[in-house]
Amino acid sequence: MDKRLLPLLPLVAKPARYTNQEVNAQHKNWAEIDVKIALAFPDIYDVGMAHLGYKILYAVINGRKDALAERVYAPWTDMQALMEEQEIPLTALESGQELTSFDLVGFTLQHELSYTNILKMLDLARIPRRSRERSGMQPLIMAGGPSAFNVEPLADFLDFVVLGEGEEIIHEIIDLVKQGKAEGASRDDLLEQLAQVEGIYVPKFYKPVYDQDGRFLSLEPLRPDIPREITKRVIRDFNSLPYPEEFVVPYVEVVHDRVMAEIMRGCTRGCRFCQAGIIYRPVREREPEVLKEQIARLVESTGYEVISLSSLSSGDYGRIGPLVRELIEQYQPCGISVSLPSLRLDSFGVELAQDIQKARKTGLTFAPEAGTQRLRDVINKNVSDQDLMDAVQGAFSAGWSRIKLYFMIGLPTETEEDLQGIVDLAHKVLAWGREFRTSHRRPEVSISVASFVPKPHTPFQWMAQDTMETLRAKQNYLKERLRHPGIHFSYPRVEESFLEAVFARGDRRLAPVIERAADLGCQFDSWTDRFRFDLWMEAFSDLGIDPKFYANRERDLFEPLPWSHLSPGIDADFLRREWELAQEGTTTPDCRWDVCSRCGVCPGLRTANSLVRGERSE
């Protein structure tokens, strides 16, 4: 660690965030390394340490003899103030080296409310914010993650962006940087070489074009050898991918502090609001024997007492039943539990939960998403009222007393009847709990309602988000009708969802707004107690930009979109077709168990990915 921070540690909360020397942390001799990469997470240590993608990249990069990866997180505000007062720049945990000493600094773009944190970390590191302001000796700033699929609001701050999966492409990046350093290549020459790599987007080589009304028309390449469309990278052989044998074990409690085994990647359930279900396609599963070997090594190297089987929809893993039961049989006698982050809303999900929580029934979470069958069909949430009834009644009969249900408001075609459906379901679930419970505890139902955000590359990318006033009215409607003993109601602030929609559907003209907001003091915007919507509105006003233009405006189905050049491999015709089916209330079946939905992602990948079809093995 940076020894200059030592005198500051007694003055800040959770000083172990900054001390390094955790179990399994990697420390390499800088003099022997050709390419040095700082993996920068734009949130605090407690959050960033849980990110599986960074654990994987940390292991992959440090597995090379010619490269190193070190970690850097956003300091909390108390440490920031002291660092600025003492004129101490942001440094990496492992070596204490300043970020300006690295060849590459890589940010993850997990959500839109982290953008000001990126600028703050660049400021603390004394790296110019804008790509055009950086000299040849300063590190290249790269980024990846789900929000990279519309990175335009951040484009001016990044040197290059990686679309898709990073385990293979990171080696190509390291090789190019290593070769460029050896040959004395200029910054521009290196970026031009990177732009030729499939899956890499270099924003400075493109120019946005707008019409006289300010609407986006196109993004034009500025060089003849630059691709007009950048397509995401997809790992073709999922089982052969390297996976960490060790996780860095923190000294302080962090989010999801456990062994994480990635059992599958991708989801084809086809929920029309879900960006992750699009950008992580196609579905690929790891073989159970491979998983069991990985888990055994991680349990031994970390000492964790929880094994989490991670994916977008873990209950859809083809051999989930046998895998869970074998892991429980092997590890439960050792005091190690197994968990699933997501369960399907059906009886099979309850059976799995029964196996996992034999000793102590905590809570079960299901996501109907909408209050009526009509609206669930619109969003392609292939779950019926009967599924919900069977799952909930089965859960209460099996000993659970707490059920949590996730819904969204503001979905396309939503009516008051759909809102009332949420209320009716909450009361039905509570009544089922009283009727079917076997526990001595009183049944409890938690209703969590998020505001819908139209995301790029989804069938709902063209729709307008409900205005904040409309969303507040819907929240109040539910709040008044869900006041009941045994029912707990929670919802996020509509201002956060509004800002998320602005940047999810934004273009490069928003860069000055992000910059102005950061200057006004906006950061940690995803933390409710730190979110300053008034300052964000001041930033928009100062720049003369109306945020409603981005969040609350419906797009035409054939209107050019600022993110169209960043392709997740999905055909635009498929998204339009899904939008039309949504208007009809017609569902599309999961292509893993039914016919191909012709989304466009699989050609050339089907055999290599061993896409699962057929009957579930239980």
Q: Is the dihedral of CA 434, 436, 440, 443 positive or negative?
A: negative
Confidence tier at 608 by pLDDT (50, 70, 90): very low
Query: Would you say 614 and 319 are in contact if contact means Cβ atoms under 8 Å apart?
Result: no
Assess whether 153 and 285 both reside in one domain. no
Assess whether 190 and 325 both reside in one domain. no
- Is the pLDDT confidence value at 119 over 60? yes
Assess whether 217 and 270 both reside in one domain. no
Assess whether 78 and 217 both reside in one domain. yes
Residue 307 falls inside a structural domain: yes
Residue 465 falls inside a structural domain: no
Residue 457 falls inside a structural domain: no
Least confident of 271-275, 340-344, 356-360, 557-561: 356-360
| Buried-exposed string 398-431: b where 16+ CB fall within 10 A, e elsewhere | bebbbbbbebbbbbbebeeebbebbbebbeebbe
What pLDDT, on the 0 to 100 scale, is given for residue 441?
Answer: 86
Residue 146 falls inside a structural domain: yes
The CATH number of whichever domain residue 126 belongs to comes to: 3.40.50.2300
Kindly state the average pLDDT of the residues 11-19. 95
Residue 8 falls inside a structural domain: yes
Kindly state the average pLDDT of the residues 564-583. 96
- Listed in sequence order, the residues at least 6 apart from 203 whose beta carbon sits closer than 8 Å to its beta carbon are 131, 151, 152, 155, 156, 158, 160, 161
Assess whether 140 and 53 both reside in one domain. yes
Assess whether 218 and 93 both reside in one domain. yes
Confidence tier at 363 by pLDDT (50, 70, 90): confident
Q: What is the C-alpha to C-alpha distance for residues 527 and 532, in angstroms, rounded to an integer?
A: 10
Considering 181, 216, 231, which residue would you say is the last residue of a domain?
Answer: 231
Residue 601: which domain range?
258-342+592-618
Least confident of 354-358, 399-403, 573-577: 354-358
Assess whether 103 and 147 both reside in one domain. yes
Q: What is the C-alpha to C-alpha distance for residues 46 and 24, in angstroms, rounded to an integer?
A: 17
Assess whether 227 and 268 both reside in one domain. no
Q: What is the C-alpha to C-alpha distance for residues 458 and 277, in angstroms, rounded to an integer?
A: 9
Assess whether 301 and 174 both reside in one domain. no
Residue 131 falls inside a structural domain: yes
What pLDDT, on the 0 to 100 scale, is given for residue 361?
Answer: 65
Assess whether 217 and 309 both reside in one domain. no
Residue 272 falls inside a structural domain: yes
Residue 437 falls inside a structural domain: no
Query: In this predicted model, which residue has the larger pLDDT, 593 or 179?
Result: 179
Q: How many domains does the chain have?
A: 2
The CATH number of whichever domain residue 614 belongs to comes to: 3.30.750.210
What pLDDT, on the 0 to 100 scale, is given for residue 342?
Answer: 67
Assess whether 207 and 327 both reside in one domain. no
- pLDDT tens sequence across 434-491: 999 887 889 999 999 999 999 999 999 999 999 999 999 999 999 999 999 999 999 9
Considering 212, 231, 250, which residue would you say is the last residue of a domain?
Answer: 231
Considering 231, 249, 274, which residue would you say is the last residue of a domain?
Answer: 231
pTM: 0.94
Note the helical H segments in 443-566.
468-481, 494-504, 511-520, 533-543, 548-551
Assess whether 201 and 97 both reside in one domain. yes
Q: What is the C-alpha to C-alpha distance for residues 178 and 170, in angstroms, rounded to an integer?
A: 12
Q: What is the C-alpha to C-alpha distance for residues 417 and 376, in angstroms, rounded to an integer?
A: 13
